[in-house]
Amino acid sequence: MSRYLFDQIRQPDLVSWNTMLAAYAHCGASDVTSANGFSSVQNAELSVEVLHLFSRMQASSIRPNELTIVALISACADLGALSQGIWAHAYVLKNKLGLNHFVATALIDMYAKCGCLGMAHQLFDEFPQKDELCYNAMIQGLAIHGYGHSALDLFKMMKLKGLAPDSVTLLVTLSACSHSGLVEEGCKLFESMRKEYGIEPKLEHYSCLVDLLGRAGRLKEAEDRIQRMPMKPNAILWRSLLGAAKLHGNLAVGEVAVKHLIELDPQTSGNYVLLSNIYARIDKWEDVNRVRRLMKDRGIDKMPGNSWIEIDGAMHEFLMGDRTHPRLKEIYLKLEEMNRKLQAHGHKPRTQEVLFDIEEEDKEDALSYHSERLAIAFGLIASEATVPIRIIKNLRVCSDCHLSTKLISYIYDREIIVRDRNRFHHFRNGTCSCWDFW
């Protein structure tokens, strides 16, 4: 309705433009209480609309101000659109717009979410009057890149500077502990929320705690935490437990989590897919098929894996087995070359990632055409050898793609930066920044 009213204005003024841009940016941006702050596919479409609206605004005679730029930078952060984000930063400097707390925080957030953590940290260090928002953005940036110890150090520095951590500070710091396997530190921080900071843990904090314990294999403790919560658990909490059950192959805990998830969120395909994964890992194909039939009966389709890669400022999207790209032939030739080189370096596909009871050779083919493999192949043929390949995924990277991408970074001597649904992976010389903990 607000967009309809906006479109009726013949000559929108600055206030009208900023109101519309801010509305799209706010709705498109993931809530920071999700800890990683990454957008869903649906929300990303709203962030794209911010870029389109800003282009229209530029074509008019209206000059942007700081509020306009914050909306633009926030959209770039959610999309991982680094080139556009750098342009926005340059626009601020060139036009001498005020680098206030809001613009600075938006830039720190944007560079971190686009994989340029060094630039985010440089801006953070140079900004003279850092407030809680700046610290929260930087701690979150360190968290999603897996620098848990650095995030904890910054959290301590924030307190030394006399700034009081708020609910978001504690959430992103807990997330940093979770991504880095700092179990004791995370548990201690959670327990200090009420006693030391007078902050009552919310569902989001409990979700981080459950994720932290689950990743560490302490599934029973994680389940007990959910059962003893003072509020009713939501689907996110049970999904965290289900993900941990899948990671550690614990069928009993996985089935408990799915039972609750089907009651709370029966239409989300990821719940069924995670359970299918657990069954597939132990070759219980009858149960895999049962889950698939249940999805079919309920009209639930598996969310397709999407990967985006930015080349020369343009975003290219790939689906699994995609054959729509204009450079299709070159991409698949490069993909075949990648597979040959992976085999030559001893790569054995982890076929348990494929959830169908098909022949091993067919499973290997299915893995080869995952969306990030196609995006990497395109990156190898379409970008300079000295430029990092930057990819954004809408799902968590699978273990086979993670292993193969490590090898590809070594074989082709390329840095590959992947932002999946939960965090960043920096692949260099056959290793990953997450150290296989994700």
Report the alpha-carbon angle 391-394-397, nearest 5: 70
Higher confidence at residue 325 or residue 360?
325
Residue 268, judged by CB atoms within 10 A of its CB (0-12, 13-18, 19+), counts as middle
Task: Determine, yes or no, domain membership for 139.
Answer: no
Q: pLDDT at position 79, please? A: 87
What does the pLDDT read at residue 375?
A: 96
Q: Is there a domain that residue 283 lies in? A: no
Q: Is the pLDDT of residue 277 over 60?
A: yes
pLDDT at 112: 96
Banded model confidence at residue 30, pLDDT cuts 50, 70, 90: low
Q: Is the pTM of this model over 0.75?
A: yes
Per-residue pLDDT at 81: 87
> Is there a domain that residue 85 lies in?
yes
Range of the domain at 380: 312-432
Pick from 4-18, 22-36, 160-174: least confident: 22-36
Q: What is the mean pLDDT of residues 30-37?
A: 54
Residue 312 — very low, low, confident or very high, per pLDDT cuts 50/70/90?
confident
In a domain, 22, yes or no: yes
**Higher pLDDT pick, 36 / 7:** 7
- 188 belongs to a structural domain: no
pLDDT at 353: 55
Enumerate long-range contacts of 263-267, CB under 8 Å, 24 or more apart: 264/234, 264/235, 264/238, 265/235, 265/239, 266/298, 267/298, 267/300
Q: Among candidates 98, 42, 46, which has minimal Cα distance to 69?
A: 98
Domain boundary among 129, 162, 194: 129
Domain assignment of residue 161, yes or no? no
pLDDT of residue 351: 59
Backbone angles phi, psi at 431, to 5 degrees: -125, 165
Residue 369 clears pLDDT 90, i.e. is over it: no
Please give the average per-residue pLDDT across 170-191, as a whole number. Answer: 95
CA triplet 29, 299, 246: central angle to 5 degrees?
Answer: 65
Give the number of domains in the chain: 2
CA 96 vs CA 90, 126, 235: distances in Å: 10, 17, 46
pLDDT at site 354: 54
Report the range of poorest mean pLDDT among 27-41, 96-110, 261-275. 27-41
Residue 247 is assigned to a structural domain of this protein: no
Residue 325 lies in a domain: yes
Q: Give the residue-averaged pLDDT of 360-384.
A: 78
Angle at which helices 183-197 and 167-180 cross, to 10°: 170
Q: Is pLDDT above 80 for 87?
A: yes
pLDDT above 70: percentage of residues in the chain: 92
235-248 and 203-215 helices, crossing angle to 10°: 0
DSSP string, 62-96: PPP-HHHHHHHHHHHHHHT-HHHHHHHHHHHHHTT
Q: pLDDT digits over 125-152, tens only? A: 999 989 999 999 999 999 999 999 999 9
